[in-house]
Structure 1
Amino acid sequence: MAKVFGVVLALVGALMAVPGLWLISLGGSWYYTLAGAGLIASGVYYWKGSLRGAWIFGAVFLGTALWAVWEAGFAVWPLVPRLVAPMVLAIAAVLLIPSLNDGRGRAASVIAALLLAIGIGGFFYGMATPQGVIANAAPVARTPLGEEAGVEWAHYGRTPSGTRFAPFDQITPENVDQLEVAWSYNYGDAPSGTGQDQNTPLYVDGLVYHCSPNNIVSAIDAVTGAQVWRFDPEASSPLWQRCRGVTHYRPTALEGAQTDAEGTCAARIVMSSVDARLIQLDAKTGALCTSFGEGGSVDLTRNMGEVRPGFYFPTSAPTVMGDQIILGGWVWDGMALDEPSGVVRAFDGRTGEIVWAWDIGNPEIETLPPEGETYTRGTPNVWSTPAFDPELGLVYLPTGNAQPDFYGSSRVEAANDWNSSVVAIDARTGKVAWKFQTTYRDIWDYDVPSQPMLYDLTNAAGETVPALIQLTKRGQTFVLDRRDGTPITEVQDLPVPTEGGVEPDYLSPVQPYSVGMPSIGAEELTEARMWGATPLDQLYCRIRFRQAYYVGDFTPMSEQGTLIWPGYFGGMNWGSGTIDEERGLLIVNDTRVAHLLQLLPRDVADSLGVEVVGPHDGLAPQDGAPYGAMRSNFFSFVGVPCQEPPYGTMTAIDLETQSILWQRPVGTIEETGPFGIRTGWRMPVGLPLVGGPISTSGGLTFYSGTQDYYLRAFNSETGEEIWRGDLPLGSQSTPMSYVGPDGRQYVVVTIGGLNDFMGRGDIVMAFALPQE
């Protein structure tokens, strides 16, 4: 056995020492080469049957332990790749000592092995326990909103303010463990490929409204789950099929031709489709409202110029403000300079006629472009969901990036003023009231992904200030006066790097930081923060880190390959956050995955002939620009993010003190693991998260967008996870809640599965307390 173990040690040592030399040449740690050389020497002596092998191994192990604590401290996750595998080897090493020492020391070797096994058990206990938990929980004052807040979920964010707060308190921390499935509905359009069910249903007048990835709308009885009607627009797109929401609309006046027939279309469901149509349906029957547009729909590609299949359509719910339907659209990122316009348009909700247009590239266009022209192509788009304040008459638009995503010098000039911003538009005229830019000259795909949240704050003088709270992919949260865009909490323009990339003259030397609010998940990367399940994949990640160009936030894009951190998945993304309006808590989920992006000269990009597999990975051709871009997740060879866990957390921020109240990792590896293999272990590592949370008057925060199959409930005041409801598959949606005609509070989640490998579904599921 000693000979076999000697071979194993020598092999492991070689796998550390040789790549370790590569790491040294890149300016990295010497540990792996030194430890690897020691393991090789130890292995040779174990092969020879010499006790010297054990002494050398002991020295390597002691040095490893000292190095691990010196570099990583005593936190569990950083120590796992540094110590657990060496401890496993150490057990074998000490158990073999008697065979090297004429049988002497058997009892001592067994004791040492037991102690090492206990240590490994301690690590596994730590991995089975949430790490990095912040718990500053203190009594939180509550101001109940009362019954006037309503029982419906009538907008994407429940109200036009987008706070996702449900003022219902039947379900509480004391009884949430009694929740059971009240009904389940199959809508018959399970996603596949790049499609996802990311829908947050509505609840209005006793019906739940769901739209599928291919825009099939179902009206479901809110008490029984029975189908009331179903409408299939027969929409199709070559990729990215999704419908995050529909909108309920009651026209203020219907006269003459605006009324389809007696009593029909008095209330309507408004939806945009994956083939770029704006459609209206009778909310009670599902029939097309034929007086709207042409037979019930408006072609959103009109006046846009060439729109290739899949290159343009709205993914988010239309915004209905008064009798106006306001919407932008998603554009297939990174394909070409000459892509469809990011124009935002307002349509008359009764007729479908255009009321106003906001074209960033040509402010002279107020409705339609001049005959023979189009809306300005390649401009920043608004693909997320706006919020609006009916009293101020303002609609708040979160803008995206201009084309191409990762090279700025070829863009239309107007993009520099409007990309990655919050823009307040006068809903009557379509004119800009104010704007606030969250990233200057964005080449990192840091478009503003989350719906703005409107919530009134009290300042130090005791005055009520109407605020807008904007989450970003950067992990920064900006708090603005929604009347004029002035920051309420402090924002500073801080220096950032501009050298080392391909366009230093284009980049902004400063970027805005919301220093008055906590930053979430944006701590700078270092080689020491690279991670792996073992020293070998950690070494791989260290080498990749050193190979990449990374000098902190806003590292310029390069041909070398630039690390983007936070990555363009977030931070915070389209799921947005929630505000517990009674407790003054902002609750957000975030994702922590870095991206590696390499700019490829035009001739190189064109010669690859690589099929574009999706909007966020693989080759971004960026046709018309000097560079294409090769995009990848910054993962190890076992398919795990290269930086240390957690990879996703839930955080509550006290809006009165602007400080973190609690934070905890969310998600286990039960349904996934290294190489994507299911582990069945509820290890709460905290995985990348999608969708968003909702909060309730009952003091609960519900969330379902994890890579394991649960609807979770957290105590909103303490962050404690107090309930998990089993789901048949993974969910990527934001839940919603309502009080039905039967007086019961329901929590509803849509379940479409995570990917084709892990299984797909077509389920809308409602949970409620048992009927008395």
Structure 2
Amino acid sequence: MNKYVAIACLLFTHSTVVLADDREWSVFGGNNLHQRHSPLTQITPDNIQNLAPAWQFNTGNKATFQATPIVRSGVMYVSLPFNDVVALSAKSGELIWRYQHDRIESREMCCGPANRGVAVTDDHVFMGTVDGRLIALDVNTGKKAWDKDVTQGDSGIQEDVASLAGGTEGEVSGTSGVGLNMAPMVYNGNVIIGITGVGYGLHLDSPDPDAPLGAVVGIAGKYGRRGFLAAYDVETGEQRWQFDTIPEQGWEGDYLATTPDGELLPRDIEAEKASAEQYADAWRYGGGSAWSTPAIDHDTDTLFFGTGNPSPQMEGSSRPGDNLYTSSLVALDANTGKIKWHFQQVPHDMWGYDVASPPVLFDVHQDGKTVAAVGQAGKTGWFYVINRETGKLLFKSDAYVPQQNLFQPPSEAGTVIYPGVLGGSNWSPVALDAKRRQVYIAGIHWPVNYSLHQLPEKHGKAGLKYSSMAPLDTDERYGLLSAINLDTGNLVWQHKTPNPLLGGVLSTDSGLVFSGEGSGELFALDAASGDKVWSGSSEAGVNAPPISYEVDGKQYIAVVSGGNKLFGYKSGDAIKVWSLP
């Protein structure tokens, strides 16, 4: 018997078994429901002013840092930018081992150097890499156990779309490359992970290297590839199943005129149907990255994960139809990869509204009934609550960020839209407190200008038409950390921050909510009121999800601090940990 299971059998609180593992942080989402809620209560709103730095480890890799640390048996495992991994004493920060990744330099990275975490078992540490590999390390030594090339370096690019750079301002990036950014999930002897970058399209970098992204560009054409989520044997790396996020048959869907929650979409359905034969192979380049670590219902063996935007990004003329299963929450059989249902938040997505924030599992209480639900914080600015068994929408929340011109098309003059391609809520995980009946969401208010462009005629050929979505350089951009009632979807409170929030949230049983800012601040709010009760500082942006764990009876708060280049937040290389004296 596992020693933690044996201990857990002896621990009871209010007749509820408290698993010892919950006092650490053994999986990406903190517990099997992925609620990122810690049962620890040593740090409270009354004593948090005494919270002080416990230890800090500097990795030497100064770059965008997004990882969730995993803590098991007193050891902290952290994946670093460019896929190094460190194992540290969770009590002192002392280095136990370090794996240095032998990246295939010839492969283009799709989405920067960041990795969102590892999965850890009694024997292995698993990690997806920016160069398209799934790697298993020995948990005790960090030595490589096996190395699976998941993508074979295939970006699926079919056209020289980078030629757009000749007619625009700013360097083009994101034109190719497929990687693995999510933290894997281990279930029933399989390690499950998906690929990213397949619907990435083009980014125009800002001339200022310290400034945020210049623009996201959409061009019609045959480039990109379809994404997938797959399961691999934990001992050998052999693939067990694969779910393609774009089906070869039926990817067109039903040509829906609205979103499933009734929002009107600006689609010319007849024109799309008329062009369907011309673009019959659009599924080959269809996109649908798998950005978010799955949540798994252990009672029903159902896996839930979000998919990215279709490819080409934003430009829909060369991909008629609903573009299934992009911009969707998808439910699969966790043991076979067979689809159970999908909920497509935005059919024929033209705004980059990926389902990027990881799903969370909980029960909804309505009309005297309890319904098993899955929730997801959308880039659209709503928290969607879906029946876990049927895939039907139960309700969506109040908007947790301002909304203007949502689902409007681009224009030559430019259409100001918010939320835009940045979200809403981006990849940031939510935290959920089932006792207080609240979910906490890190939100972004950052207006974008959605424009149509025409390049000049060249060598007698008509210039390329394309669309762009550029974040506006305005003082009206900020973050909102929102508390939303789980049973009604109503806003309970909001806390405004100077910087758009990107990273994630942690809640604790003592009534605290933690999140970080690009300015370098980790802050704590009172869960009841949303009032700020503490803040700690870092030299770089705190743009990763915080965690809490216990070692030898002491509670710690930990977060990685390395900023985010896409948002213009300062880079760094720190793993920072706080505790009470």
TM-score, with structure 2 as normaliser: 0.80
Q: Give yes or no for contact 1:326–1:346 (8 Å, CA) kept in 2.
A: yes
Q: 1:582: how far off?
A: 2.4
- Residue in 1 that maps onto 2:270: none
Summarize the Cα distance change of 1:243–1:310 in structure 2 as closer, same or farther, 3 Å threshold: farther
Matched, 1:395 2:395: no
> Which amino acid letter does the alignment assign opposite residue 464 of structure 1?
T
Offset, 1:144: 9.7
**Matched residue, 2:277:** none
Contact 1:197–1:213 (Cα < 8 Å) also in 2: yes
**Judging changes above 3 Å, is the alpha-carbon distance between structure 1 residues 605 and 379 closer, same or farther for their aligned structure 2 residues?**
farther
The Cα offsets for residues 74-95 of structure 1, whole Å up to 9 and x where unpaired, read as xxxxxxxxxxxxxxxxxxxxxx
- 2:452 is aligned to 599
Q: What is residue 18 of structure 2 aligned with on the other side?
A: 147
CA shift for structure 1 position 363: 5.4
Q: Distance in 2 between matches of 1:571 and 1:737?
A: 26
Q: What is the CA-CA distance between 1:374 and the residue it aligns to?
A: 14
Matched residues in 1 for 2:282 and 2:141: separation?
A: 37
Q: Which amino acid aligns with 1:633?
A: P
Unaligned runs of 5+ in 2: 1-12, 158-173, 203-220, 251-280
User: What is the CA–CA distance in structure 2 between the aligned matches of 1:450 and 1:763, rounded to whole Å?
Assistant: 24
Q: Aligned pair 1:586/2:439, yes or no?
A: yes
1:545-582 superposed Cα distances (whole Å, 9 cap, x missing partner): xxxxxxx2211123332323211111111112110122
Q: Deviations over 1:173-230 (max 9, x none)?
A: 0111111111111112111xxxx11111111111111111111100000111100000
Residues 608-628 of structure 1 deviation map (CA, whole Å, 9 limit, x = unaligned): xxxxxxxxxxxxxxxxx9633
Conservation of the 8 A alpha-carbon contact between 2:224 and 2:312 = no
The answer to whether the Cα contact below 8 Å between 1:311 and 1:340 also exists between their aligned partners in 2 is: no
Q: How does 1:151-230 map to 2 (within 5 A)?
A: 151-191=23-63, 196-230=64-98
- Decide which of 468, 477, 481 is 2:383's aligned counterpart: 477
Matches within 5 A, 1:12-411: 147-148=18-19, 150-191=22-63, 196-235=64-103, 236=105, 237=108, 240-250=112-122, 267-289=123-145, 296-302=146-152, 304=154, 306=156, 311-331=177-197, 333-335=200-202, 337-362=222-247, 376-411=284-319
Q: Which amino acid aligns with 1:658?
A: G
Query: Which of the two has greater helix per residue?
Result: 1
Q: Which residue number corresponds to residue 171 of structure 2?
A: none
Instruction: Name 1:44's counterpart in structure 2.
Output: none
Q: 1:747 aligns with which of 550, 557, 561?
A: 557
The match for 1:421 among 297, 314, 328 is 328
**Contact persistence 2:320–2:348 (CA under 8 A):** no
Q: CA deviation at 1:302?
A: 3.5
Shift of 1:755: 5.0
| Pair 1:734-2:545 in alignment | yes
Question: Identity over aligned residues, as a percent?
Answer: 32
Q: Is the 8 A contact 2:485 2:491 kept in 1?
A: yes
**Which secondary structure state, in structure 1, belongs to the residue aligned with residue 324 of structure 2?**
helix
Cα deviation for residue 412 of structure 1 reads: 6.7
Is the contact made by 2:499 and 2:519 (CA closer than 8 Å) also made in structure 1? no
Deviations 1:158-178 (A, max 9, x none): 123221111111100011111
> Where does residue 468 of structure 1 map in the other structure?
374
Q: Secondary structure at the match of 1:312?
A: coil
Cα distance in 2 between the residues matched to 1:627 and 1:346: 40
CA distance in 1, matches of 2:362, 2:426: 19
Read off the aligned partner of 1:340 and give its amino acid letter: R
2:227–2:246 contact (8 Å) kept in structure 1 = no
For the residues of structure 2 that align with 1:305 and 1:438, how far apart are their CA atoms?
26
In the superposition, relative to structure 1, how do residues 208 and 185 fare at CA in structure 2: closer, same or farther (>3 Å)?
same
Give me the whole-angstrom Cα distance separating, in 2, the residues matched to 1:436 and 1:762.
Answer: 38
Please state if 1:690 is matched with 2:502.
yes
Structure whose CA Rg is larger: 1
SS of 2:524's equivalent in the other structure is: strand
Structure 1 contact 177–723 (Cα < 8 Å) conserved: yes
Q: Which amino acid aligns with 2:539?
A: P
1-structure distance, mates of 2:224, 2:185: 24
1:672 is matched with which residue? none
Q: Over residues 274-332 of structure 1, what are the superposed CA-to-partner deviations in whole Å (9 max), with x where a residue is unaligned?
A: 1111000011111111xxxxxx1100114957579952101111122221222222116
C-alpha displacement of 1:422 = 0.6
Cα distance, 1:766 vs structure 2 = 0.8
1:600 deviates by 2.7
- Give the 3 Å change call, closer, same or farther, for CA 760–303 of structure 1 in structure 2: closer
* Paired amino acid for 2:383: T
Assess, with a 3 A threshold, how the Cα gap between structure 1 residues 151 and 202 changes in structure 2: closer, same or farther. same
Which structure shows the bigger proportion of residues in strand conformation? 2
Is the 2:175–2:201 contact (alpha carbons within 8 Å) kept by the matching residues of 1?
no
Among candidates 399, 417, 422, match of residue 519 of structure 1: 399
Task: Report how many aligned residue pairs link the two structures.
Answer: 495
Shift in CA distance, 220/437, structure 1 to aligned 2, threshold 3 Å: same
Alpha-carbon distance between aligned partners in 1 of 2:565 and 2:482, rounded to the nearest angstrom: 27
Kept after mapping to 2: 8 A contact 1:732/1:751: yes
* Cα distance in structure 2, aligned partners of 1:400 and 1:342: 9
Cα–Cα, structure 1 residues 476 and 441, in superposed 2: closer, same or farther, change >3 Å? Answer: same
Report the CA distance between 1:240 and its aligned residue: 0.9
Counterparts of 2:536 and 2:457, CA distance in 1: 47
What SS does the aligned partner of 2:352 have?
Answer: coil
Distance 1:143 1:633 in 2: 50
| TM-score of the two chains, using structure 1 as the length reference | 0.61
Structure-2 residue corresponding to 1:659? 490
Paired residue type of 1:297: D
- Note if contact 1:595-1:633 (Cα within 8 Å) is conserved in structure 2: yes
Provide the C-alpha distance between the structure 2 equivalents of 1:445 and 1:605, rounded to a whole number of angstroms: 28
Residue 626 to residue 410, structure 1, CA distance change in 2 (3 Å) = farther
Matches of 1:215 and 1:360 in 2, distance apart? 25
CA contact (8 A) 1:273 1:314 kept: yes
Match of 1:446 in 2: 353
Which residue identity lines up with residue 494 of structure 2 in the other structure?
Q
Distance verdict in 2 for CA 1:223–1:579, change over 3 Å: same
Mapped partners of 1:171, 1:474: distance in 2: 34
Post-superposition shift, 1:406?
A: 1.2
Give the Å deviation of 1:699: 0.8
* CA gap 1:591/1:217 in 2 versus in 1, 3 angstroms: same
CA distance in 1, matches of 2:356, 2:430: 11
| Aligned position for 1:712 | 523
* One-letter amino acid of the structure 2 residue matched with residue 698 of structure 1: S
SS at match of 1:330: coil
Distance 1:657 1:760, change over 3 A: closer
CA deviation map 1:491-516 (0-9, x unaligned): xxxxxxxxxxxxxxxxxxxxxxx3xx
Whether contact under 8 Å (2:286, 2:323) holds in the other structure is no
Q: Partner residue of 1:120?
A: none
Shift of 1:722: 0.5
Question: Structure 2 vs 1, CA of residues 652 and 300 (structure 1 numbering), >3 Å: closer, same or farther?
Answer: same
Change (3 A) 1:231 1:313: same
Alpha-carbon distance between aligned partners in 1 of 2:48 and 2:335, rounded to the nearest angstrom: 44
8 A contact 1:343–1:375 mirrored in 2: no
Q: Matched residues in 1 for 2:580 and 2:289: separation?
A: 42
Taking the aligned partners of 2:247 and 2:31, their CA distance within structure 1 comes to 32
Q: Give the Cα–Cα distance (whole angstroms) in 2 for the partners of residues 733 and 144 of structure 1.
A: 35
> What is the deviation of 1:478?
1.0
